[in-house]
Structure 1
Amino acid sequence: MRATSLNLVRSAIRCARPKAVSCRNAPVGVRWSSTIGTGEKQWSTPLAKALAGAITTTGPVSVASYMRQCLTSPDGGYYTRQSDGHDQFGAKGDFITSPEISQVFGELVGIWLYTEWLAQGKKDQVQIIEVGPGRGTLMDDVLRTISSFKPFAQSISAIYLIEASPHLRKQQAKLLTSTDTFSTSDLGESASSKHIPNCSITWCEDIRFVPKEETSTPFILAHEFFDALPIHIFQITASSKIPASATILTPTGPITPKTGPQVPKNQWHELVVAPITSSTPTTTTTTIEKDGDGAASTSKDPPPDFHLTVSKTPTPHSLYLPQTSQRYKALEKIPEAIIEISPESLSYISDFAVRIGGSKPPSLSTSKPSAQTSSQTYTPTSSTTTPTYRKSHPSGAALILDYGPSSTIPANTLRGIRSHRPCSPFILPGHVDLSADVDFLGLAESALKASPGVEVHGPVEQAFFLGTMGIKERAERLLKGTKDEEVRRRLEGAWKRLVDRGPTGMGRIYKAMAIVPFREGEEVRRPVGFGGHVVG
């Protein structure tokens, strides 16, 4: 879902791009100069300078636009820039993910897929799809595990990896394929899987390129994917002012806000990103750390290039998105309430649901816009609705593993991570990982709205999911076969880290959620890992 403002930002970025310096390999320590307003401003990265120039031209941008540019801009984005020797993942990078901590994690995910395949009657024409596969570590462990279950492995007809970064696609291909020779098709690049005989892995930039086939059974994995998708942030603002006759065009129809004395006392405004100028109050973040000897030391982050500010009037996004769910509407009377909404996340989860259960038939009803309402949700006509994808026999499953609250709407969760420690999301654009908590209940709600043929289980804590999948038993088997004490110590610490339920433990903070087929008249079946048992 790409807003017009994003296209303007990209256009302005192209115009503001420095000519003499490559954004992809620029050193982090250099400050980049430009003139913003009055006086010369120093920017921490070329991407920061380009963003500032674009914002000066178009005005403050949404957090979603800022995140998208910082993470995936072809000219210096965190995931898309040339690595110049820096790896985002692992102990030497900025963060470490569960598959990097222990091979057991990916093995259990592979076993979960196998149990779903059994429970659904051993379907053929299976598609394995992973969105945001990182370095490919999870998929490597999953496919290696699946290869041990020959009938399941033989049922797999295609493997798709959804990855926007050319640099990461190369890393994934090196790990997952047995050849350096790629074939090219309309979908993307392909190569043979080293784990699943006679099966190709295809890389696509967007899941929409992956074909939907009524006879296919898609098994979809999303591990630490949704937390990196752009979010919009909204805050209830008292005595909001909406310009007269400000008709807003939205995907579901036009909105004509109230004006004059009819304006609501409280209205959602969007938090937007603006450059920090010489007149903007700033603070320097000091982080207290401990060195190898346990002695305290301090490190200072560079000053941020940008900051958040409340939009002076409601934006098109603030008039539309908070009206899409009763959960958001319930907060309208709470002064200064803040919510985070990720339209891309809701779009992706809806796609997952449709692939598994088919889509709902388009509605033929229409509604006439009313000038007497500040916001209105309209039912799209059949001409504007995505064509119906019919699936007479729902099949497949999606497994989402990420962090966020179980039932509340995320608020104030935008964060930056660099060198394994938190930092401001507004420093060193393009060199800092940005993420936000996942709204699991929002994902579940969108999946159920998108398809009549699915049901949602979870979220459950990662400790519960991995515990019921048998992580302790699998770790004990590995430990029995290992005599090296150092290796044993690492194995033991790794699996316990994954299920740690302390206040900040991964077993508590990370959640698992599943989307599985639903058929009218059949008894609800809980999947393995969500309170169910192996069947089939």
Structure 2
Amino acid sequence: MERLDAFMARATAAYYATRDPFGAAGDFITAPEISQAFGECLGLWCAVVWEQMGRPDPVILAELGPGRGTLMADALRAIAEVAPAFRAALRPHLVEASPRLREAQRARLGADVIWHQEIASLPTGPALILANEFFDALPVRQFVRRGDAWAERFVADGAFLEHPALDAPPLPGAASEGAVQEVSEMSRAVVATLAARPGTALLILDYGPAAGGFGDTLQAMQTHAAADPLAEPGSRDITAHVDFAALAAAAREAGATAHGPLPQGLFLQRLGLATRAAALARARPSQAAAQLSAAQRLLAPEAMGRLFKALAVCDAALPIPPGFES
């Protein structure tokens, strides 16, 4: 028997260590794999924030959980074309624990990258950090309202067990019987650590509610279909919705400024993703329909545009980053 967050951490580590889950042949598709315009827009977002920072040289450009390296490759290509001074100043860093995915990243990006097993080993200094669908994979604890107290969920033999919550964090008092409250202590700790770094801007894109709330959002995907998150640990992708309000609060408590969250569709629209996709469609007529369909998938409220959110965590001395202006 183990606490849910321990089970999730163990299952996720085993899952990513043994497979490449991305794309049509895998278990799910992320935004960088849908359209190159996604990574290009994020790269140019970083270029503008670098200008706001005062053009530090050198500057770290890091990605957390970089998958196959697709986002970073697209970002670096766009940066080299549009902001060559930024490209000369930046040093690419990837935080990736999976040896298999590191090999995929090395094949795509070459040797001009420094890899890290964990966030703590990122060097000090000005930094731009991208986290796309990273926080949803971090472990959560689940608490269930039982009478006038909270019970915590544990996992044993592929099923939930409940035990009295002995060390529960502060939880809302007004909750109906059986209500589930999720808490990701690791997510809050990661944001607090990065928010405390001087001269840092962190951009988070992930799925979840703008404000916290009750609900069991634990889910698993296998071959693009829903699966039992408690069965066969290590064989499927396990995630939970990101509590953006909790991340923003952790950032502010660490002394940083939190901007957003905004719906991803609105954020990407402001960055010009639709315009870039239209340009790609004109340049590649045979792929025009696919380019425009991919952009619509990222932007449309009924697709990824509303469920996914964007949150920026910045050094308090920095101005409002692009896309977050009111």
TM-score (norm 1): 0.59
Question: Which structure shows the bigger proportion of residues in helix conformation?
Answer: 2
2:241 matched residue in structure 1: 437
For 2:226, which of 422, 447, 453 is the aligned residue? 422
Aligned counterparts of 1:445 and 1:410: Cα–Cα separation in 2: 17
How far off is 1:410 after superposition? Answer: 5.3
How far off is 1:525 after superposition? Answer: 3.5
Aligned counterparts of 1:99 and 1:168: Cα–Cα separation in 2: 15
2:149 matched residue in structure 1: 267
1:529 matched residue in structure 2: 323
Question: What SS does the aligned partner of 1:203 have?
Answer: strand
Aligned counterparts of 1:152 and 1:467: Cα–Cα separation in 2: 23
2:310 matched residue in structure 1: 512
1:488 matched residue in structure 2: 288
Alignment of 1:94-243 (within 5 A): 94-148=27-81, 149-156=83-90, 158-177=91-110, 191=111, 193=112, 201-212=113-124, 216-238=125-147
For the 8 Å contact 1:410–1:438, the answer to whether it is kept is no
Q: Over residues 56-106 of structure 1, what are the superposed CA-to-partner deviations in whole Å (9 max), with x where a residue is unaligned?
A: xxxx2111111111111xxxx11012x4xxx31001110000000000000
Question: What SS does the aligned partner of 1:96 have?
Answer: coil
Q: Over residues 358-415 of structure 1, what are the superposed CA-to-partner deviations in whole Å (9 max), with x where a residue is unaligned?
A: xxxxxxxxxxxxxxxxxxxxxxxxxxxxxxxxxxxxx231100000000123521000
Any gaps of 5 or more consecutive residues in structure 2? Answer: none
Matched, 1:338 2:180: yes
Matched, 1:329 2:183: no
1:349 matched residue in structure 2: 191
For the 8 Å contact 2:6–2:139, the answer to whether it is kept is yes
Q: Over residues 176-216 of structure 1, what are the superposed CA-to-partner deviations in whole Å (9 max), with x where a residue is unaligned?
A: 01xxxxxxxxxxxxx3x2xxxxxxx111111111222xxx2
For the 8 Å contact 2:143–2:152, the answer to whether it is kept is yes
Aligned counterparts of 2:285 and 2:205: Cα–Cα separation in 1: 32
Aligned counterparts of 1:97 and 1:414: Cα–Cα separation in 2: 18
How far off is 1:237 after superposition? Answer: 1.8
For the 8 Å contact 1:273–1:309, the answer to whether it is kept is yes
Matched, 1:314 2:165: yes
Q: Over residues 493-528 of structure 1, what are the superposed CA-to-partner deviations in whole Å (9 max), with x where a residue is unaligned?
A: 1111111111xx101110000012213xxxx83321
1:289 matched residue in structure 2: none
Question: What SS does the aligned partner of 1:456 have?
Answer: strand
Aligned counterparts of 1:490 and 1:410: Cα–Cα separation in 2: 38
Matched, 1:65 2:2: no
For the 8 Å contact 2:52–2:319, the answer to whether it is kept is no
Larger C-alpha radius of gyration, 1 or 2? Answer: 1
Aligned counterparts of 1:235 and 1:410: Cα–Cα separation in 2: 10
Aligned counterparts of 1:417 and 1:491: Cα–Cα separation in 2: 25
Q: How many residues align?
A: 325
Question: What SS does the aligned partner of 1:309 have?
Answer: strand
User: Which AA in structure 1 matches 2:325?
Assistant: G
Aligned counterparts of 2:186 and 2:49: Cα–Cα separation in 1: 27
Give the RMSD, CA atoms, in angstroms.
1.5
User: Which AA in structure 1 matches 2:153?
Assistant: L
How far off is 1:447 after superposition? Answer: 1.0
User: Which AA in structure 2 matches 1:408?
Assistant: G
Question: What SS does the aligned partner of 1:173 have?
Answer: helix
1:479 matched residue in structure 2: 281
Aligned counterparts of 1:456 and 1:330: Cα–Cα separation in 2: 26
Alignment of 1:260-299 (within 5 A): 266-275=148-157
For the 8 Å contact 2:116–2:122, the answer to whether it is kept is yes
User: Which AA in structure 2 matches 1:68?
Assistant: A
Rate the CA distance shift 1:151–1:92 in 2: closer, same or farther, 3 A: same
How far off is 1:126 after superposition? Answer: 0.5
* Displaced runs of 4 or more, over 4 A: none
User: Which AA in structure 2 matches 1:271?
Assistant: R
Aligned counterparts of 2:117 and 2:215: Cα–Cα separation in 1: 29
For the 8 Å contact 1:349–1:443, the answer to whether it is kept is yes
TM-score (norm 2): 0.95
User: Which AA in structure 1 matches 2:130?
Assistant: L
Aligned counterparts of 1:414 and 1:103: Cα–Cα separation in 2: 29
For 1:400, which of 191, 194, 204 is the aligned residue? 204
Question: What SS does the aligned partner of 2:306 have?
Answer: helix
